[in-house]
Amino acid sequence: MIIQRILTNNAVIIQNSNGKEQIVCGKGIGYKKHIGDKIDENIVNQVFVLTRNGLTKQLEELLYDIPIEYVQISNQIIEIAKLDLGRKLNESLLITLSDHLYQSISQFLDGVNLANAFLFDIKQFYEVEYEVGLKALALIEKKLKVKLPEAEAANIALHLVNAGNDDSTLEEIYTMTKIIQSITNIIRHYFSIEFDVKSAYYYRFIVHLKYFARRVLEHKQYHEDDLDLLEIVKTKYKNSYGCVCKIEEFMKKKYDYKLTDEEMQYLTIHIQRVVYKTIKD
């Protein structure tokens, strides 16, 4: 391993056998070293390989501004998330999460209250990501001796959600969460119920709302040629359809989005299932 650039006493950039740059970490790995020096591979404790163009440079710039411990902890959180979520995550998460944790912890130590207005909803809508967030808080407390509030688990969860959606920004994830929150609140108030958030019916309903919220953001409406079914649904599930009309009114006013007949139909069916299953239980 030959040093290409020295970032800190504990991090250097090398070029691997494939000509790709890697960030290599280890205690004192860059101390009193020079470009072109060989490094002792026995002291290497972590290697970061980012395949997307520009990400290595971004991580390099970030390491000039934040301690490497935040990148190492973020990498551990990402590995936990990959196992628990069972899916790939965007490589840029290492950069965005490291920066986020550094800023959040710095603010917390300065006495700033870390909050998340969607804490309750994130726990319901993104349950697995939130559980990873709690594991991340435990890891941070163990490694950095900083006990962050529960709201930070929700903040981390949204970063994980965003990293699993290549076409979405963090701001869009927040907006989607707000849409889902608003629709579930309309249903709760309309029927005067509290959902069984552990039920399979509720889980499937939230999945449906996530797809719906994405269509709203993209202004892509769902169309299907089965209008006869809508008329049957309106008659058979009158109360649920009345609730959907309230949702339609809200979406038009708040997001300038007009529900199609097909969306009205499927929302009515889903609401009927989740509401009356909740009442029955």
User: Tens digits of per-residue pLDDT, 111-120?
Assistant: 999 888 889 9
Question: What pLDDT sits at residue 29?
Answer: 87
Q: pLDDT-based confidence at 53, cuts 50/70/90? A: low
The CATH number of the structural domain formed by 170-280 is: 1.10.1790.10
- The CATH 2.30.24.10 domain(s) of the chain lie at 1-49
- The Cβ-side half-sphere exposure at 176, using a 13 Å CA radius, reads 26
Mean pLDDT of the chain: 88
Given a cut of 90, whether residue 186 has pLDDT beyond it is yes
* CATH of region 1-49, choose from 1.10.287.1080, 3.40.50.1820, 2.60.40.420, 2.30.24.10: 2.30.24.10
CATH of 52-166, one of 2.60.320.10, 3.40.50.80, 1.10.1790.10, 3.30.70.3270: 1.10.1790.10
pLDDT of residue 3: 85
Closest by alpha carbon to 251, among 214, 216, 224? 216
What's the whole-number mean pLDDT along residues 29-55? 80
Domain with CATH 1.10.1790.10 in the chain: 52-166, 170-280
Tokens of 220: 């892509």
Bigger pLDDT: 50 vs 241: 241
Query: How much is the pLDDT for 255?
Result: 93
| pLDDT of 145 above 60 | yes
Cβ atoms of 230 and 238 within 8 Å: the answer is: no
- How high is the pLDDT of residue 151? 95
| Nearest by Cα to 75 from 88, 94, 51, 99 | 94
**pLDDT of the residue at 224:** 58
pLDDT at 238 over 90: yes
Q: What pLDDT does residue 253 have?
A: 95
The pLDDT score that the predictor gives to residue 5 is: 85
Cα dihedral 160, 161, 167, 169 in deg (nearest 10): -80
Residue 226 clears pLDDT 70, i.e. is over it: no
At residue 6, the 3 state secondary structure works out as strand
> Which has more pLDDT, 11 or 141?
141
Confidence (pLDDT) at 154:
95
The pLDDT-based confidence of 166 (bands split at 50, 70, 90) is low
pTM for the model stands at 0.79
